[in-house]
């Protein structure tokens, strides 16, 4: 009888969800749209920086450095200026990010063995981008300076000096430093949380709004059966969205899946305990679907910002870092990245699994208690 009653409740929920054409589209189209947006639009690999050149020297040496800047994918030489006033206007209008100014004595200082200066003016309104652009520019100028030094030593007949220390770097897991590889697995976590949390909250509140909750209360269903009937369908739908986004990420964006699908499934189920628990908790605090949507958005936004997906947790204040341990999305981000890019298993990811398990039990327990109290 227990399984029969839950089965009928599941059939009811699936019929209600799948017979609505608009809702069917909203269940499966947004995850793909999010994947495309985050995969293509959200890219932390800064390229094509809008650059202006003010060459006051106009010598072969200055043109050679300018040519080096233009030959990289990082800088687009959009403007060649005649005065600094032109640069100020372009920066104020947001049409350039960086101005590279080569003074009149640039080539002369190089020929006489002195240190030649290059003035760089950057738009610092986006501090992260500014720091990255400075590193790119420093690398290009450093290569140029080493070449000049080598030519100078050869001209003086000196033997080429080997560097005292040489760095050989090797990057694991994301050899080309493609931010898409880091971001696409994170979309899976956001999709799971968005779908399961919002749909669970809205499904329960919808019963209150249309007045069918009273009918369910007088039915033979027990509170536990009602809760399972309301949550299990959306767990299944969330898992289907995970499969959809995973397939698209692997075959469309060519993000490697180096770990086990079973470990990914286990981590997803543990994370669903948390998001479904939050959805039930929201439903007990909301009387209308509009209130549930507002509360869900209020939870989702800080959860994403404090997950480490966009901003490194290590860069946050110490108090905020401790607060992120209460965020289940923090653990799941580490799980999906570890499975996709590192290929690690439970033997490595068990602290995250334990964290999600503890938080999930706490959230589900609190939500069920409040739900039973509301039903009573």
Q: What is the pLDDT of residue 215?
A: 59
Determine the Cα–Cα distance for residues 70 and 82; give it in Å rounded to an integer: 18
CB 245 within 8 A of CB 187: yes
Determine the Cα–Cα distance for residues 96 and 103; give it in Å rounded to an integer: 20
Tokens coding 42: 């959200």
Q: What is the pLDDT of residue 162?
A: 54
13-17: long-range contacts, CB 8 A cutoff, minimum separation 24: 13/203, 13/229, 13/230, 13/233, 13/234, 14/233, 17/199, 17/233, 17/237
Determine the Cα–Cα distance for residues 244 and 19; give it in Å rounded to an integer: 20
CB 285 within 8 A of CB 374: no
Q: What is the pLDDT along the chain (376 residues), one digit of tens a residue?
A: 556 666 665 666 666 666 666 556 656 666 666 666 666 655 566 778 889 999 988 888 889 888 988 888 888 898 898 887 888 888 777 788 888 888 888 888 888 778 888 888 888 766 667 778 888 888 888 888 888 777 777 766 655 555 544 555 566 787 777 777 877 888 888 888 888 888 777 777 776 666 666 555 556 666 666 677 777 777 888 888 888 888 888 888 888 899 999 999 999 999 988 988 888 888 878 777 777 878 888 888 888 888 888 777 877 888 888 999 999 999 999 999 999 988 889 999 999 999 999 999 998 888 877 766 655 5
Q: What's the distance, Cα to Cα, between the start and end of the chain in Å? A: 23
Reported pTM: 0.71
Domains, the chain, ranges and CATH?
Answer: 2-42+178-375 (no CATH), 49-155 (3.40.1710.10)
Sequence-distant (≥ 6) Cβ neighbours of residue 262 within 8 angstroms: none
């Amino acid at each position: 009888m227990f399984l029969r009653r839950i089965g009928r409740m599941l059939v009811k929920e699936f019929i209600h969800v799948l017979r609505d054409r608009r809702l069917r589209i909203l269940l499966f189209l947004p995850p793909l749209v999010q994947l495309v947006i985050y995969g293509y639009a959200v890219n932390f690999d800064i390229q094509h920086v809008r650059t202006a050149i003010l060459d006051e020297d106009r010598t072969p040496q200055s043109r050679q450095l300018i040519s080096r800047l233009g030959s990289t994918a990082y800088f687009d030489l959009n403007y060649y200026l005649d005065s600094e006033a032109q640069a100020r206007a372009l920066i104020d209008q947001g049409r350039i990010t960086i101005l590279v100014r080569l003074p009149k004595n640039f080539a002369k200082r190089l020929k006489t063995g002195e240190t030649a200066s290059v003035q760089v003016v950057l738009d610092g309104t986006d501090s992260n981008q500014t720091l990255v652009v400075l590193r790119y520019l420093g690398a290009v100028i450093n290569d140029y300076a080493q070449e000049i030094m080598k030519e100078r030593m050869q001209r003086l007949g000196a033997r080429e000096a080997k560097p005292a220390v040489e760095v050989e770097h090797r990057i694991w897991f994301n050899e080309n430093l493609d931010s898409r590889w880091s971001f696409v697995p994170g979309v899976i976590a956001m999709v799971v949380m968005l779908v399961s949390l919002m749909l669970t909250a809205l499904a329960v509140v919808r019963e209150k709004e249309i007045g069918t909750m009273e009918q369910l209360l007088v039915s033979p269903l027990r509170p536990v059966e009602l809760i399972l009937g309301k949550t299990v369908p959306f767990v299944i739908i969330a898992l289907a969205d995970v499969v959809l986004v995973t397939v698209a990420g692997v075959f469309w964006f060519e993000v490697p899946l180096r770990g086990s699908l079973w470990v990914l499934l286990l981590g997803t189920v543990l994370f669903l305990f948390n998001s479904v628990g939050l959805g039930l908790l929201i439903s007990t605090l909301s009387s209308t679907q509009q209130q549930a949507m507002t509360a869900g958005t209020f939870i989702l936004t800080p959860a994403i910002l404090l997950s480490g997906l966009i901003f490194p947790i290590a860069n946050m204040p110490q108090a905020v870092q401790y607060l992120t341990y209460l965020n289940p999305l923090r653990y799941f981000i580490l799980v999906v990245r570890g499975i996709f890019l590192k290929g690690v298993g439970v033997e490595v990811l068990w602290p995250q699994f334990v964290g999600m398990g503890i938080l999930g039990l706490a959230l589900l327990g609190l939500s069920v208690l409040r739900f039973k109290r509301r039903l009573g």
